[in-house]
């Protein structure tokens, strides 16, 4: 058990040094832990940092699920906004109702959040994308996100997980195989 994770039942399974994704030096130390989380089961926590440039990376994934999958949730109000979820590093998230899309990159990471937390991520991205220029399109998108966060609009959230490590905990969550829309997001091929 590692006391750095609060002595909460985390078991360190490996530690290694690799090339830093930011500076390229072989000073990026990675520690991996298996941790039992209520509702999700066993998860893998990866924590890495570079002693040269200070770059840090955190990642989390559910260990029990494997294989690419698509997760669909119809959000009807506050109840679904509170659903817990693990978003893996290679998961894309779509809200087709309004054309919002998050596509993972090499620097994406996994984390535990809620459906509402994903909306806040979209809100932050929209604020950055809009910058200081508030076009009508920006105002419309930001207004929709705010109403969605407040549970005032229904929408569909689609998670396209290429590693199969994401999970949403709640009622009426539909899991299935990746479809062509998901596969086209990053040129996925079987």
What's the pLDDT tens digit per position in 18-35?
Answer: 999 889 999 999 999 998
Return the domain boundaries, the chain.
3-62, 69-185
Q: What percent of the chain stands above pLDDT 70?
A: 91
> Is residue 45's pLDDT more than 50?
yes
pLDDT at site 190: 44
pLDDT at 186: 61
Is the confidence at residue 7, as pLDDT, over 90? no
Whole-number pLDDT of residue 163: 80
Query: How does residue 40 score in pLDDT terms, banded at 50, 70 and 90?
Result: low
Give dist(CA 74, CA 47) in Å, integer. 33
Q: What is the DSSP string of 45-89?
A: EEEEEETTT--EEEEEEESS--S-EEEEEEE-SHHHHT-EEEE-T
Residue 9, pLDDT score = 77
- The domain 69-185: what is its CATH number? 2.60.120.1040
- How far is it between the farthest Cα atoms of the chain? 53
Q: What is the CATH number of domain 3-62?
A: 2.20.25
User: Residue 120, Cβ neighbours under 10 Å: how many?
Assistant: 13
State the Cα–Cα distance between residues 114 and 82, nearest whole angstrom. 6
Q: Indicate whether this model's pTM tops 0.75.
A: no
d(CA 4, CA 161): 30
What tens digit of pLDDT does each residue of 118-172 get?
999 999 999 988 887 778 998 999 999 999 999 999 999 999 998 888 889 999 9
Q: How many CA atoms does the CB half-sphere of 127 hold within 13 Å?
A: 8
6 confidence band (pLDDT: 50, 70, 90): very low
Q: In what order do the strands lie in the sheet with 69-75?
A: 100-102, 91-95, 155-161, 69-75, 174-176
In the structure encoding, which two tokens stand for residue 116, read together?
Answer: 């509402």
3-state secondary structure 33-52: EEEEECCCEEEEEEEEEECC
Report how far residue 160's alpha carbon sits from residue 181's, in angstroms, rounded to the nearest whole number. Answer: 9
């Amino acid at each position: 058990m590692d006391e750095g994770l609060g002595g909460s039942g985390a078991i360190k399974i490996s530690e290694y040094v690799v090339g830093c994704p930011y500076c390229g030096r072989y000073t990026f130390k990675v520690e991996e832990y298996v941790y039992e989380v209520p509702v999700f089961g066993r998860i893998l926590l990866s924590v890495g940092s570079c002693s040269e440039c200070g770059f840090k990376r955190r990642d989390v994934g559910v260990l029990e699920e494997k294989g690419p999958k698509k997760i669909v949730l119809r959000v009807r109000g506050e109840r679904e906004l509170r659903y817990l979820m693990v978003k893996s590093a290679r998961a894309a998230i779509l809200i087709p109702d309004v054309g919002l899309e998050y596509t993972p990159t090499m620097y994406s990471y996994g984390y535990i959040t809620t459906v509402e937390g994903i909306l806040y991520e979209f809100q932050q991205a929209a604020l950055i994308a809009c910058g200081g220029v508030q076009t009508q399109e920006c105002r419309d998108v930001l207004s929709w996100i705010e109403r969605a966060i407040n549970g005032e609009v229904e929408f569909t959230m689609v998670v396209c997980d290429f590693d199969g490590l994401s999970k949403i905990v709640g009622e009426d969550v539909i899991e299935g195989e990746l479809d062509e829309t998901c596969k086209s997001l990053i040129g996925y091929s079987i």
